[in-house]
Structure 1
Amino acid sequence: MADFDLIVIGSGPGGYVAAIRAAQLGLKTACVESRETLGGTCLNVGCIPSKAMLHASEYFDAAANGAMAAMGIKVKPELDLDTMHGQRRDAVKGLTGGIEFLFKKNKVEWIKGRAAFTSANSIDVAGKSYTAENFIIATGSSVTPLPGVEVDNAKGIIVDSTGALELAKVPAHMVVIGGGVIGLELGSVWRRLGAKVTVVEFLDQILPGMDGDVRKEANKIFKKQGFEFKLSTKVTGAQVKGKKAVLSVEPAAGGAAESIEADCVLVSIGRRPNTDGLALDKAGLAVNARGQIEIDHDFRTTIPGIWAIGDVVPGPMLAHKAEDEGIACAENIAGLTGIINHDVIPSVVYTAPEIAGVGLTEEAAKAKGEIKVGKFPMMANSRAKTNHEPDGFVKVISDAATDRVLGVWCIASVAGTMIAEAAIAMEFGATSEDIAYTCHAHPTHSEALKEAAMAVQGKPIHM
């Protein structure tokens, strides 16, 4: 008889949620985690601490650069970076401790250490063997290294996303390698606190994978905020000289090389699945060309009893995607029908303003057939106007024949919250007309979504 009905390997957003849901459904469950605290990358060094720093730095920036003065609040802020870091650590401590409480409440056993398969139904953790009827691999992802650029977080000169959260002082000049979500968010933190920020991106636009209009508008907004962009540019190497880093860069298409000197370099070119060290071959598993574990619709791998979710499987590397997969996977193991719609998974960039989208981009939708598009600018939204938040827009994309909403994209101060309405609408097969004729409270930012839906029909009121 196996030791457990289910062992979850990894306690990130997908893993801990899967373990709790399985225990709620009556399965004898354990979760393997090697960190000193639960929650994985997201809660310890990712989503949560970065949002704590983003929120705090927004207050500082508003006070230091005149936004509050425009509303009649005159202050001269003084940065206390140690306290700012302290409130970040407090947020992490409270939330990771909360997961430990939930494990105890739901009788999930925490097995401390790193897991390695010894067979299809057994693992070794810290020299001890454990067996289970089922395993969920939920080991998440880690930073993708950049050849020629060696990260050393301890020195604080060339860092990854973890090191960028722990900088002891504001760098005079930060270079961010990579114009994706993480680089722009952490670059925003240090720009608001006083750093000059240069973003070096190999592609010709920032935010790969997002809607084209969003990418262009975001670039304009970030430039207005003081970001400098070097697009279509390749980093070929980096050297630490004293307390500075010197980057070697050249045009992506080829051309003359140049050097950029910085006090801090943030390497943020993406993430890769954490599968090394699991001894997957002992369980009969292999990874694909991208290092991911292939699964079927129900999260089963090719080996019966072994399942996988989150960043180690194909799809976007998003905490909320992993959470929903964790719940669905646990329900499938318990004999229920776990459901997740991978076509309706929102993405959010927590800059100021926020950037969010769900469903197809305009480019992808056009490739599938004829569409209709409605846009509405935030500067015409009454709440954004009163809050001095004019930047951005909402865009609704619908099928030309059925009017069914295919995608929604927005840039707004609360875009991350607004996108939930769009996701719910799409989950239930709403048309743009459905959204347009749904009463929205006034004055709210969400009225911009209603107006964009009305614009699909060619009849917005306030534009």
Structure 2
Amino acid sequence: MADYDVIVIGGGPGGYVCAIRCAQLGLKTACVEGRDSLGGTCLNVGCIPSKALLHATHQLHEAEHNFAKMGLKGKSPSVDWKQMLTYKQEVIDGNTKGIEFLFKKNKIDWLKGWGSIPEAGKVKVGEDVHNAKSIVIATGSEPSSLPGIEIDEKTVVTSTGALSLNKIPKSMVVIGAGVIGLEMGSVYARLGADVTVVEYLDAITPGMDGEVSKNFQKILSKQGLKFVMGAAVQGVDVKNSKATVNYQLRKDESNASIEAETVLVATGRKPYTDGLGLEGVGVEMLPRGQVKTDAHWQTSAKGIYAIGDAVTGPMLAHKAEDEGMAVAEVIAGKHGHVNYEVIPSVIYTTPEVASVGQTEEALKQDGRAYKVGKFSFMGNGRAKAVFQSDGFVKLIADKETDRILGCHIIGPGAGDLIHEICVAMEFGASAQDVALTCHAHPTFSEAVREAALACGDGAIHA
């Protein structure tokens, strides 16, 4: 039996970051992880491998559609799917081994196996029981499905199976028009699959700025993705390695179906806390399966904390990382802080989509007076030079004070551009502050400045 100041259960972005910060603050730390590699869903079967495939297939798209325009002549490359999966795995391995190195560097013990909490202050891993003054639950989430759908990870897959199909399907149905569905749908559409997205709601990317959502769907449609909106999936039938997706259109309750070689179920994720024994130690749960915590990430059981996808809030790796660092500070007797008003979200398609803060829809609902500055990438020289002039930057500021309330970007490098506004919002900046800041030319970031200028006297290149 080993004694620790902190044991973190889960080696994903929230867990491993929490463990590293705890160790940096002088706490004797261990991290429990049952996978063969650290990094959790994100590094192993989520964020990182999907970005590798998105990058590879974007390069394919460039070769097929834009190289000739730039004077790069020659035969278009063929796809070696096996090699592409090897490249994806090499990216995963490089990242996960990096976390192992950081654990060794910070003297963190990796307790290999699946953890449970038999009683307060104790964590069981396999047959071993370890004492801990504080325990952090960072067990992440797992894909959620719908009634009438049986996942086999071959024909009917979650995001995990979609990252490792044994061949590129000729046709794919994606159930759910959220981040995961659109990213993976985009990958396979570029690889030549006939992709149809079936969504229950009338708009893609629920919760996103409405104007961005509409433009995003138009752009993806031009790229070959088909959309069936307002459709409630009733079930999926599999026969002879072919799937039939049965759905009902909400507008007239008519029934329809669509066949495909592969069905990707991308209907969201749910907290994963199975086997932890939380009820036995008095940890209170919320109706939707999350662990209930207070403002300091403390559960109802003293000395047990929870972060990341296991608690409320957006299921984002960077949100989990922020909470991991914050809870480490709390455990070390310091002040941990997460600003939940400034957590960006990104969709890594081409073009990328990124947002932070309030949407127009939310502000209208709250009755708050606001103004909008908008600038199209059609007016950005760098974007036009790289064939990515679709999209725009939309900056929202308080009508009276000019303080930035939110930003929504669809366009090249949106996932990086959004952070200028994140920093501005952290400092309580106004749109004018961004407008008066010199931006290098020619860069995509000039579009952000132009949107800020549009909140005042007007953009220059509009």
**TM-score (normalised: structure 2):** 0.98
Answer yes or no: is 1:447 the counterpart of 2:446: yes
Deviation at 1:120, TM superposition (A): 1.7
Rounded Cα–Cα distance in structure 2 between residues aligned with 1:457 and 1:276: 53
| Letter of the 1:355 counterpart | V
Aligned to 2:259: 261
Deviation at 1:320, TM superposition (A): 0.5
Aligned to 1:343: 341
Rounded Cα–Cα distance in structure 2 between residues aligned with 1:159 and 1:254: 29
Q: Is the 8 A contact 2:2 2:129 kept in 1?
A: no
Displaced runs of 4 or more, over 4 A: none
Deviation at 1:254, TM superposition (A): 5.0
Answer yes or no: is 1:97 the counterpart of 2:97: yes
Aligned to 1:216: 214
Moved more, 124-133 or 197-206: 124-133
Answer yes or no: is 1:27 the counterpart of 2:15: no
Aligned to 1:402: 401
Instruction: List aligned pairs for 1:125-204, cutoff 5 A.
Output: 125-153=125-153, 156-204=154-202
Deviation at 1:271, TM superposition (A): 0.2
Aligned to 1:413: 412
Q: Identity of aligned pairs, percent? A: 55
Aligned to 2:436: 437
Aligned to 1:56: 56
Q: Is the 8 A contact 2:49 2:88 kept in 1?
A: yes
Give unmatched runs, 5+ long, in structure 2.
Answer: none
Aligned to 2:461: 462
Rounded Cα–Cα distance in structure 2 between residues aligned with 1:367 and 1:437: 31
Rounded Cα–Cα distance in structure 1 between residues aligned with 2:363 and 2:404: 10
Rounded Cα–Cα distance in structure 2 between residues aligned with 1:341 and 1:286: 24
Rounded Cα–Cα distance in structure 2 between residues aligned with 1:72 and 1:452: 33
Q: Is the 8 A contact 2:298 2:306 kept in 1?
A: yes
Deviation at 1:89, TM superposition (A): 0.1
Aligned to 2:246: 248
| Letter of the 1:265 counterpart | V
Rounded Cα–Cα distance in structure 2 between residues aligned with 1:453 and 1:46: 34
Rounded Cα–Cα distance in structure 1 between residues aligned with 2:31 and 2:404: 39
| Letter of the 1:399 counterpart | D
Rounded Cα–Cα distance in structure 1 between residues aligned with 2:215 and 2:128: 54
SS of the aligned residue for 2:118 comes to strand
SS of the aligned residue for 1:364 comes to helix
Q: Is the 8 A contact 1:121 1:283 kept in 2?
A: no
| Letter of the 1:106 counterpart | N
Instruction: List aligned pairs for 1:101-120, cutoff 5 A.
Output: 101-120=101-120
Q: Is the 8 A contact 2:8 2:18 kept in 1?
A: yes
SS of the aligned residue for 1:119 comes to coil
Answer yes or no: is 1:359 the counterpart of 2:357: yes
RMSD: 1.1
Aligned to 1:235: 233
Q: Deviations over 1:184-217 (max 9, x none)?
A: 0001111001101000000000000111111011
Aligned to 1:36: 36
Deviation at 1:338, TM superposition (A): 1.5
Rounded Cα–Cα distance in structure 2 between residues aligned with 1:412 and 1:256: 37
SS of the aligned residue for 1:356 comes to strand
Aligned to 2:87: 87
SS of the aligned residue for 2:387 comes to coil
Deviation at 1:281, TM superposition (A): 1.1
Q: Is the 8 A contact 1:2 1:133 kept in 2?
A: no
Rounded Cα–Cα distance in structure 2 between residues aligned with 1:254 and 1:329: 50
Rounded Cα–Cα distance in structure 1 between residues aligned with 2:429 and 2:334: 27
Deviation at 1:458, TM superposition (A): 3.8
Rounded Cα–Cα distance in structure 2 between residues aligned with 1:250 and 1:145: 17
Q: Deviations over 1:160-182 (max 9, x none)?
A: 10000001211111000000000
Rounded Cα–Cα distance in structure 2 between residues aligned with 1:158 and 1:205: 24
Deviation at 1:123, TM superposition (A): 2.1
Aligned to 1:288: 286
SS of the aligned residue for 2:180 comes to helix
Deviation at 1:43, TM superposition (A): 0.2
Rounded Cα–Cα distance in structure 1 between residues aligned with 2:86 and 2:15: 27
| Letter of the 1:45 counterpart | V
Deviation at 1:2, TM superposition (A): 7.5
Rounded Cα–Cα distance in structure 1 between residues aligned with 2:276 and 2:40: 16
Rounded Cα–Cα distance in structure 1 between residues aligned with 2:24 and 2:251: 55
| Letter of the 1:105 counterpart | K
| Letter of the 1:309 counterpart | I
Moved more, 164-173 or 262-271: 164-173
**TM-score (normalised: structure 1):** 0.98
| Letter of the 1:74 counterpart | K
| Letter of the 2:229 counterpart | L
